[in-house]
Structure 1
Amino acid sequence: MSEKSYHSDCAICKNYKEFEMPSDIMEASKKGKLALFCGAGISTENKNVLPESFYMTIQNELDNTDTSMSFSETMQKYCDLPNGRRKLMKKIRERFQYIHSFPELEERATMFHRELSELHFVKTIVTTNWDTYFEDYCAAVPITIPEDFVYWDGNERCVLKIHGSISNLGTIIATTNDYEKCRENLEKGIIGATLKTILANNTVVFIGFSFGDEDFASILNYLQGEMKEFLPHIYIVTLDQNLYEKIEYKNSTCIVTDGTYFLHSLKNKLIAEKLIVNSGIMGDIELQKYLVCGIHSKIASIDFKTYPEVIYCLAYQDGICHAFDRFIQLYKTGNYNIPGVLNGSLKAYDKITKDKKKQGNYWDASYYEGYMNGLMYILLCGEKHPMVNSFPLFYLPNTKAEMNSFESFEEELCKVSKFKGKYHKYAIKVLENLLEAEEIVVHHPPF
């Protein structure tokens, strides 16, 4: 999604309104001091996900036409019916399951979360949402009950779920009774104390809330009641151009645009300053891994008893695939988008590779050679670099010949297998150990 890659007639893109990014938010981002307070508008309750909100679904089931009733009052009325609480929990779960069953709907519901995943500097998220999208798409550690605070870590992305989670039905805050208990917990418990610490030490941006939103009102009332003269200045990302005039909390700045577009614009500015790297390369890495796996399967069919040295290429390609696998698996943490992280890893693995070669452990050395090249490809992906255009798919430690096809690899393998030197002898030793351990497939594990 580039700055101008949207259309005004698109239901989603029409809300991508241009705005001036506050310098305060930019500076907080660079220092890792940006905290996000996220409401239902960035998730399943976004109008672009389903035509009817959960509130209206319950209102219709109650046959209630009084839309002045708040969300919690409506949920309370539903729960007051026989088995109402149990039915409500099932309704909530069914809504999430329905969205999950249609990838298009879940993609819309998680646009914000997927945009956030690359913003490695955002470690603190507070949400009133029940879904698990911050966990699933941003690798955030959920903090739902006081016992969860053992996982609270400033170096790891965490999401404080002040209204509970669908993964723990007993924690869900929905009714007026629930809201009262939540208010008491905020006033007296560790969650409230943590909220105040977040507000005191970070630049705070509210996203996904609107005027009349009960969650939004309760949080602002809590802030004003608890912080008093120490009220922090907050930013509110909203599509309501008149929100500032409607709210009583005047120590705030409204940014009129879509929440996902706000994150996208912030990310682009930080990419321009090279504070976010490796953005948008997931598809390239997945494609390269697919190519390596295809060649790997072909090489695995070579008779290793006749050509023992083939195990070095297999270990090398295992290393490449594991580097790519780890990138794909951990990409949503944002850690691979931190400048300099891969450089540090490359130095560490370069030392390991050299040590393995000195020890005469050529199989492990081949594996780490592949892992290093996998990291190098990730680092250089998107740049016009010879390695990216001609990635070394093949490897033999006892040759310097160029191997750019399966045929050229086979030819070189035949040549080196005629020499009964140290690489040949070590390969036979590795194979003997594998056969003794009844290993049928020659495979190097990720360690």
Structure 2
Amino acid sequence: MPYFGTIITTNWDRYFEEVTGATPFVYESDVPFWETAKRPVLKIHGSIDNYTSIVSSTEDYERCEGRLRDGALGAVLKQIFATKTCIFFGYSATDQDFLNIYNTVRAGLGPLARTHYLVSPFVSEEESSRLKLLNIISVKTDATHFLKTIKDHMVSKFCFSRDDTFSSVSSLLIEAYDAHFKFTNSFRPSESPHLVFSAVYQDGLIHALQRILDLAHTGQYSDLHYVRGQISKYENMIAGYRRKKDYWEISYFTGYLLGLEFFELSNFVSDEELPPPPLFFHPGVGQIDEAEFEREIRNRQDIHKLALAQAKRILKRSGSAGAEVIQHLPWA
């Protein structure tokens, strides 16, 4: 789920780290790295990974209250309550540590204090009234249903990716692996240097698909606005390499761009309507399928003389002229 960037929890377990890719913040010394985390989780009662951090006894709670009142973690928590709209899930807003910090922030901001929301199917009228006094609006529904409704709405507006598109990416990755291994085993760079451009094109495609799947649990690629921004970024990057006539990077990033474009298109059409992505490439021809590649490129080293000369220079410079395969390093 995109847009849920910062998480606050009193739980000790590693759920948010494992399921959502969140970065835990437990100690005061963690705070200087807050801005480096794409999805931080502030664990105000400690973490199971750090036994000395766990808050369980009365004495622990007293020390925790002091840390949150005067320490760096408490300062972060106060800033969140003061500047962000928070949604509470599976939480009754009765924890004393929370209330002390929350009320301090609310009192300081006065009428400018943010309104927050608590989602629970078990909120009574009495509880709802208590929450209103805290500037917290109760939403009486199941948290899972609440999140699913938001996500379904955002998917319908083409803002969030459909979950099944990651399966399409996985299928294409397997196809790209197979094509890449078969192709790179079919030639030697020293004998057919012009073919390395298709190999690195496939590297780019594979790396893009791997990254999409690796970060699927973080929600980063579920945000289609982010994906479209990445597509625009790589289009501009490729245009820059075209001006430089850098065919090596053109090949790699054209493949990387294909992975992003395939993922975006998968959200608009069904698997049956998806056109088969071209798995081969040459700077002199562009993106093509395997049959056309075999017919037009395989045995025609001179199809693009500048690209051929560059391929020979790259192989010579890298010392890979006699290697079985040459690869482009992953791009992050």
Structure 1 and Structure 2 fold alike (TM over 0.5) = yes
| 1:399 Cα deviation from its structure 2 partner | 3.2
Alignment of 1:10-409 (within 5 A): 118-119=1-2, 121-153=3-35, 156-209=38-91, 216-219=94-97, 221-222=99-100, 226=104, 230=110, 233-242=115-124, 244-245=126-127, 248-251=130-133, 252-274=136-158, 276-280=159-163, 281-304=165-188, 305-384=190-269, 388-399=274-285, 403-405=288-290, 407-409=291-293
> Does structure 2 retain, via aligned residues, the 8 Å contact 1:377–1:387?
no
Residues 349 and 368 in structure 1, CA contact (< 8 A), matched pair in contact too = yes
Deviation at 1:437, TM superposition (A): 8.4
Number of aligned positions between the proteins: 322
Q: Is the 8 A contact 2:185 2:325 kept in 1?
A: no
Whole-angstrom distance in 1 between the partners of 2:61 and 2:41: 19
| TM-score under structure 1 length normalisation | 0.63
Alpha carbons of structure 1 residues 331 and 175: separation in structure 2 relative to 1, 3 Å: same
Shift of 1:185: 1.9
Amino acid at match of 1:265: T
Residue type of the alignment partner of 2:104: E
8 Å Cα contact 1:434-1:442 kept in structure 2:
no
CA distance in 2, matches of 1:263, 1:256: 13
Q: Could you say if the C-alpha distance between residues 296 and 200 of structure 1 is closer, same or farther in structure 2, counting changes exceeding 3 Å?
A: same
Aligned in 2, Cα 1:249/1:290: closer, same or farther, shift over 3 Å? Answer: same
Which AA in structure 1 matches 2:170? E
Identity of matched residues, %: 28
**1:173, distance to aligned residue in structure 2 (A):** 0.8
Name segments (4+ residues, structure 1) moved above 6 Å: none
- How far has the Cα of 1:318 moved from its partner? 0.4
- Please give the root-mean-square deviation of Cα atoms over the aligned residues, in Å: 3.2
Query: How far 1:233 moved relative to its partner?
Result: 4.6
**Which letter maps to 1:417?**
Q
Q: Secondary structure at the match of 2:311?
A: helix
Where structure 1 has 5 or more consecutive residues not aligned to the other structure, the ranges are: 1-117
Distance (whole Å) between structure 1 residues aligned to residue 125 and residue 249 of structure 2: 61
SS at match of 1:348: helix
TM-score (norm 2): 0.83
- Once the two structures are superposed, what CA deviation does each residue of 1:298-321 show, in whole Å capped at 9, x if it has no partner? 001112244322211101000111
Aligned pairs for 1:406-445 within 5 A: 407-417=291-301, 421-435=305-319, 440-445=324-329
Distance 2:103 2:234 in 1: 53
Change (3 A) 1:433 1:154: closer
Consecutive unaligned residues of structure 2, counting only runs of 5 or more, are none
One-letter code aligned to 1:342: V
2:42 and 2:184 map into 1 onto residues whose CA distance is 47
Change (3 A) 1:321 1:228: closer
How far apart, in 2, do the equivalents of 1:446 and 1:387 lie? Answer: 30
Quote the offset at 1:220 in angstroms: 5.7
Contact 1:323/1:374 (<8 A) preserved = yes
CA distance in 2, matches of 1:227, 1:435: 63
